[in-house]
């Protein structure tokens, strides 16, 4: 949905208002509040000084990431057109799964730049992988409390206003830092009315309201061991989705973790990190605020997602030219979604749309990085993963008998392997390429979903417990040129899929959704292909002036030549920014071509 925004942002103490009580025992260290860093593959790094902007805006600045917009809130990130079960989304390495059957709550909607330190992008299987996926993923790293900081107390407050949608934001953060421990808290509040598109056209049901709070506790056990305790809570309500038939009455997340970190450069195992975590997502779709004439039958659609898990990994120095990285991960995710329909005449009707599904995963990742001289390095690695999918309740199993009579419990052994090569061609230029083979398990929705409505094609979808794993061979080739004034990076890529998971029409089934075009079942297509290219440019003609351009294009089709869904066309983001003392002035333009291959 296109919109034209004219924004007037009033930021109080934009660069951060800090206050301090000096601690006589403290030593000089970096201050608490940091900029959010966007870290991509091949040493790309972007910084954003504006912690008031939405996480969606931060993601839109990453090359290769495109957002699916269903409204003014919680836009779904895709990587090179790959989405949903083809990607992994983690928060500090923790697996989190949205509770909405219509994908209204991507993980990015539950975090804010105010509580983030960095966002890491993986474009396929790499040494940073945390689960088996064919398209890579995003990892949102939380900001940690810093012991022995420069100031005993430090913090930031800010407020902002946007003319479009009359949106307000207010944020704050505070840290208390001692020599051996530190505690930090942060929070942000957002509220927006309906926004306006071009020609001042009001987009109804695009309002939202939310608050987000986070806390971090860090304790230094000794010079080499650190304990982290993190808590994050995000609560949204009255969220409109103009591109969908329903809105969201609430979307809440509670995330807690306890971690241990070990660092000692002189040891052969010079870094270890372990964590246990728990998160709970509670989400509810409803249509009570839509005009009665647009709602043929009122319905409620709540859903929950609960995940418990752990990971432990480290880095091993074999020699000064060889480093091994390893990580074992495990988690269990329980999904439940239901729908209650209230017909004008007759009794209410209830059904499970995700019938109490559970997925248990245990996996091991290993990679080996070798340096050949000072100009060449090679990374080889892989991941092996055991996956069990099942239905945990009798009512859930009874729901599946409507379309499947076999044993719904399935187990799979997955793997992926990769090789990445980098070579410096002089001081300014680097060549890199990679090849990977990856498999991914069908999602719980793809296996067990019961009449999940897809607004894009207007069909109800049924799951298929007999789905095979989807696999992909993918490769990339790129080159980077960097000087004090120029930073150029271009690459081409391709993905060759086997057993691609997509929907196929079931001719003899009746639709559940009023106005739906038909019913589809998830099946494996024989093959599909995706290819494209990306090019980014940064030019700094003078010290305080920066000119940026980020361009991408992709194309995809299945074995019959039909288009794959959600593939973005040509997109170009261009910006000019200038730093003037404590003020940053930025002009940005976003250009998108029309997608005709749908």
Q: Averaged over 521-525, what is the pLDDT?
A: 96
Parse the chain into domains and list their residue ranges.
36-592
CB atoms < 10 A from the CB of 130, how many? 23
- pLDDT given at position 26: 31
- Per-residue pLDDT reduced to its tens digit, 243-262: 998 999 999 999 999 999 99
CA distances from 123 to 40, 81, 137, 376, 443 (A): 9, 11, 7, 21, 20
- Rounded CA-CA distance 522/461 in Å is 7
- pLDDT given at position 516: 86
* SS3 at position 45: strand
Q: Is the pLDDT of residue 296 over 90?
A: no
- Per-residue pLDDT reduced to its tens digit, 110-160: 999 989 888 888 887 777 777 788 888 899 999 999 999 999 999 999 999
- Rounded CA-CA distance 248/70 in Å is 12
- pLDDT given at position 36: 58
| Statement: 36-592 belongs to CATH 2.40.170.20 | yes
Find the distance separating the first CA and the last CA of the chain, reported in whole Å.
16
Instruction: Supply 574's token pair.
Output: 């261009």
Q: What is the DSSP string of 155-178?
A: EEEEEEEETGGGEEEEEEEEEEE-
- Per-residue pLDDT reduced to its tens digit, 167-202: 999 999 999 999 999 999 999 999 999 999 888 899
Average pLDDT, the chain: 88
Q: Which of 165, 170, 169 is nearest to 192 (CA)?
A: 165
Q: Averaged over 196-215, what is the pLDDT?
A: 94
- pLDDT given at position 22: 36
pTM: 0.89
């Amino acid at each position: 949905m296109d919109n034209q925004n004219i924004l007037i942002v009033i930021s109080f103490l934009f660069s951060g208002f800090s206050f301090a009580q000096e601690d006589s025992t403290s030593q000089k260290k970096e201050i608490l509040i940091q900029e959010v860093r966007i870290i991509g593959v091949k040493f790309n790094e972007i910084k954003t000084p504006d912690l008031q902007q939405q996480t969606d805006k931060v993601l839109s600045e990453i090359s290769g990431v495109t957002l699916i917009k269903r409204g003014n809130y919680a836009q779904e990130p895709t990587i090179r057109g790959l989405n949903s079960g083809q990607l992994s989304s983690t928060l500090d390495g923790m697996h989190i799964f949205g509770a909405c059957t219509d994908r209204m709550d991507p993980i990015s909607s539950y975090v804010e730049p105010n509580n983030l330190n960095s966002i890491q992008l993986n474009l396929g299987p790499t040494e940073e992988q945390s689960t088996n996926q064919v398209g890579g993923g995003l990892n949102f790293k939380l900001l940690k409390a810093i012991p022995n900081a420069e100031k005993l107390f430090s913090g930031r407050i800010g407020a902002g206003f946007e003319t479009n949608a009359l949106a307000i934001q207010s944020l704050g953060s505070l840290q208390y830092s001692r020599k051996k421990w530190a505690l930090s808290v942060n929070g942000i509040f957002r509220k927006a009315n309906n926004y306006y598109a071009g020609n001042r056209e009001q987009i109804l049901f695009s309002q939202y309201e939310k608050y987000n709070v986070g806390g971090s506790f860090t304790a230094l056990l000794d010079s080499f061991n650190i304990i982290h305790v993190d808590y994050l809570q995000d609560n949204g309500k009255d969220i409109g989705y103009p591109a969908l038939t329903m809105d969201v009455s609430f979307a809440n997340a509670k995330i807690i973790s306890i971690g241990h970190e070990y660092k000692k450069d002189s040891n052969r195992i010079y870094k270890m990190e372990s964590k246990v975590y728990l998160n709970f997502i509670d989400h509810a779709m409803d249509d009570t605020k839509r005009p009665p004439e647009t709602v043929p039958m009122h319905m409620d659609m709540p859903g929950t997602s609960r995940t418990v898990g752990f990971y432990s990994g480290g880095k091993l120095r074999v020699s000064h030219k060889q480093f091994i990285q390893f990580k074992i991960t495990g988690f269990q995710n329980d999904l439940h979604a239901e729908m209650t329909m209230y017909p004008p005449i007759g009794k209410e009707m209830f059904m499970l749309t995700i019938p109490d599904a559970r997925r248990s995963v245990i996996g091991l990742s290993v990679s080996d990085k070798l340096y050949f001289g000072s100009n060449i390095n090679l990374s080889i690695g892989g991941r092996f993963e055991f996956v069990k999918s099942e239905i945990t309740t009798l009512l859930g199993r009874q729901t599946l008998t409507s379309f499947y009579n076999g044993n719904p419990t399935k187990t799979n052994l997955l793997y992926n392997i990769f090789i990445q090569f980098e070579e410096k061609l002089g001081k300014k230029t680097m060549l890199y390429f990679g090849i990977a083979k990856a498999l991914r398990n069908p999602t719980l929705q793809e296996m067990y979903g019961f009449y999940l409505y897809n607004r894009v094609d207007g069909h109800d979808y049924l799951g298929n417990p007999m789905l095979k794993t989807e696999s992909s061979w993918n490769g990339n080739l790129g080159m980077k040129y960097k000087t004090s004034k120029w930073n150029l990076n271009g690459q081409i890529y391709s993905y060759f899929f086997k057993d691609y998971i997509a929907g196929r029409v079931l001719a003899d089934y009746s639709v559940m959704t009023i106005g739906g075009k038909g019913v589809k079942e998830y099946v494996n297509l024989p093959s599909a292909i995706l290819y494209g290219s990306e090019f980014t440019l940064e030019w700094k003609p003078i010290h305080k002036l920066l000119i940026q351009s980020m361009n991408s294009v992709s194309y995809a089709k299945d074995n019959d030549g039909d288009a794959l869904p959600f593939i973005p066309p040509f997109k170009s983001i261009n910006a000019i920014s200038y730093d003037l003392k404590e003020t940053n002035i930025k002009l940005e333009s976003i250009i998108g071509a029309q997608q005709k291959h749908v």
